[in-house]
Structure 1
Amino acid sequence: MTEQLKIVLFSEVNSKLGSPFLRILSAHPMIQLAAIVTSPEDMVCSYFVQDENQVNLQVEAGALGIPVLRPARVSSADIVDALAALDSDYFFVANFQQQLSSELLAIPRIAAINFHPAPLPRYAGLAPFFWMVRHGERHGAISVIKMDEGLDTGPIIMQRQLRLSGHETSIDLRTFQEQQNVLLLLDLLPTLANGAFTCIPQDLSRRSYYGRPKETDYLLNFTLNAATVHRYVLAGYRHPGAHFFLPDGTRIVVLSMMLRHDLDMGTPDYPGCIVQTGTEIFIAAADAWLQLLTIEVNGVEKSVTSVACQFALHKLAR
């Protein structure tokens, strides 16, 4: 029997990517999962906090008898020493938001590997699913890279292309990328077994990098064209949600809209103009009308035709 690869997994404690990676690596006959390194105590990844079904990698790893490290600073000397003592072949980084130092990257016998949900060298950085939806990308990818000291700059080991419909929300895309990353992991493990994988350097002249979305990235601007506003709503779904403000300061969180180029409602008075016809609400963008479909009411997604939205509708139509 071929000797097992010894792997340390790095992932956020509530990661929907880390959870299936943990299960696969802990059960795979080719792998010895030596430890998992996850978020500091009392910290979670914001990507998943509003998901209906939550995961906890510390609990899952504990049930499997896998050691768990939750360092406040992953590159601290005591953590470097603890990981060096494990004598691992690989580090696998799958949705882990602390940067690994050069001392950590030098520990695994073969390589530190990062699974990144984007078509590197494009969309390096955080929350690529948000930025890809916001920009209306129709072609995506997930990438596996051999890590270096840069942020998502290492050479590409494997990349799987993804075709997008253009109608995905950021959660839709994030979930699709997670599923494809799991399949990619299963394809990759045999290739890594003998350490004879090849790498292709990234063309960093094509690189784009994005940070964590800011509050202003979720603010809707109706002076933009309707297609752009619609993309911003898809990208903002569902937490914290794309939003705009009524003149009285009321914050309206928009969870879904529909482009309505078919409407014969005349020229709006101004971008952002709101019109109600029966139970339907329309908002004018620079070039077309958008129909408001659902908004957030007390943390719950509600149709604008529902009873729960009547107060909000009243305010919108005033």
Structure 2
Amino acid sequence: MRVVMFGFQTWGHRTLQALLESEHDVVTVVTHPRGEGAYEKVWADSVEDLAREAGVPVLIRERADDDELYDALKQAAPDVLVATNWRTWIPPRVFSLPPFGTLNVHDALLPAYAGFSPLIWALLNDEPEVGVTAHLMDDTLDAGPIVLQRAVPVGPSDTTTDLFHKTLELFGPITVDGLAELATGRRDFPPQDRSKASFFHKRAEEDIRIDWTWTAEELSRLVRAQSAPYPQAFCFHKGQRLEIVRARVSEAIYGGTPGRIFYREGDGVAVVAGAEARRGRSKALLIQTVRTEDGVERAAQDYFRTMGGYLTSYPRPA
């Protein structure tokens, strides 16, 4: 089939690579301009560069709603559009232009986790598995009929970085296999159960700020979810920003006030966590590695030379 691909970053790059190696003819690529946002610098393999190296015409757009783009797509005469990590709205006149419609590939097990940063949100919510969905695009974002879906388990120590690599391996195969399903002429793909749908916003600074009233289990998942190269979870110590690079749940129960730097356990330092910590029913977040404002990474037991004092969500005097 003649394919036009809309894509961005490593997800789009991997999808385009699979399409170029397939039997399909990629006739045009549409991608976003390179961005300067924190999350746009993560997994930033260039779709534009790959397309140009392959001799495929490239159109650069922030949005897909202008007449010039629409006319170019009509001239390309695609049989199908493929969208992967396209960050803005694609209007109906575009996604319904080709006879086989638009196959959108999203790194979540839809209908849950539509929208942005699905792997991070899924890990935060302690989901047992994550995956990739190939679905037909319709008027509602990430809500069209499901063509194919593939899942991978979430391990007890997996980070978002681990899950990225696991799910990235699915993008190329599910795209090519999804196009094969469309090529059969089948149109009875199952609709998504909208009663199970959830839609998540983009991650921002406030989303990675540590709240010590969260349980140690929740905070441990936050640290794993914000693994490098993603912006890392942070708090404040003596008025200075402190990133938590590596942490886990303590073995012992530590009662007291959330945020209290309390005790050395194993290879870490236990910090009291959880709204119920004062009742002596909560485990602590065992911090193992931190990064200071000057970018220096240190073992927690080297950084916290004495116990006592507090880690806070916002800067305040020591």
Tell me which residue corresponds to 1:43: 35
CA RMSD of superposed structures (Å): 2.3
Deviation at 1:293, TM superposition (A): 1.4
Name the residue aligned to 1:33. 26
Deviation at 1:314, TM superposition (A): 5.0
- In the superposition, the TM-score normalised over structure 2's length comes to 0.86
State how far apart, in whole Å, the 2-side matches of 1:181 and 1:299 are: 34
Aligned to 1:273: 260
Question: Of residues 147, 150, 165 in structure 2, which corresponds to 1:160?
Answer: 150
Amino acid at match of 2:10: K
Change (3 A) 1:183 1:295: farther
Cα pair 1:147 1:154 within 8 Å, conserved: yes
- Offset at 1:240? 1.5
Matched with 2:133 is 143
Verify: 1:75 aligned to 2:75, yes or no. no
Moved more, 266-275 or 112-121: 266-275
Question: Could you say if the C-alpha distance between residues 20 and 267 of structure 1 is closer, same or farther in structure 2, counting changes exceeding 3 Å?
Answer: closer
TM-score, L = length of structure 1: 0.86
The aligned counterpart of 2:232 is 241
**Match among 18, 21, 27 for residue 15 of structure 2:** 21
Q: Give the deviation of 1:220 after TM superposition.
A: 1.2
Pairing partner for 1:171 from 158, 161, 180: 161
The question of whether the paired residues in 2 share the 8 Å contact of 1:191 and 1:197 is answered with no
- Structure 1, residues 254-300: CA drift from partner, whole Å, max 9, x if none? 12102122x3xx74441111135497422111311222112234446
Report the secondary structure of 1:295's partner residue.
strand
Matches within 5 A, 1:1-318: 5-12=1-8, 15-29=9-23, 31-40=24-33, 42-43=34-35, 46-47=38-39, 49-50=41-42, 54-196=44-186, 198-238=188-228, 239-246=230-237, 248-261=238-251, 263=252, 267-275=254-262, 277=264, 280-286=268-274, 287-297=282-292, 298-299=294-295, 302-304=298-300, 312-314=303-305
Aligned-partner Cα distance in 2 for 1:86–1:45: 32
* Residues 80 and 102, structure 2, Cα contact 8 Å, conserved in 1: yes
Please state whether the residue corresponding to 1:17 is helix, strand or coil.
helix
CA, structure 1 residues 107+23, in 2 after alignment: closer, same or farther (shift >3 Å)? same
Counterpart contact for 2:109–2:133, Cα < 8 Å: yes
Q: Distance in 1 between matches of 2:160 and 2:59?
A: 30
**Which runs of 4 or more aligned residues in structure 1 lie more than 3 Å from their structure 2 counterparts after TM superposition?**
44-48, 266-269, 275-280, 297-305, 312-318
Equivalent pairs counted in the alignment come to 299
- State the identity as a percent: 25
Tell me which amino acid in the other structure corresponds to 1:27: E
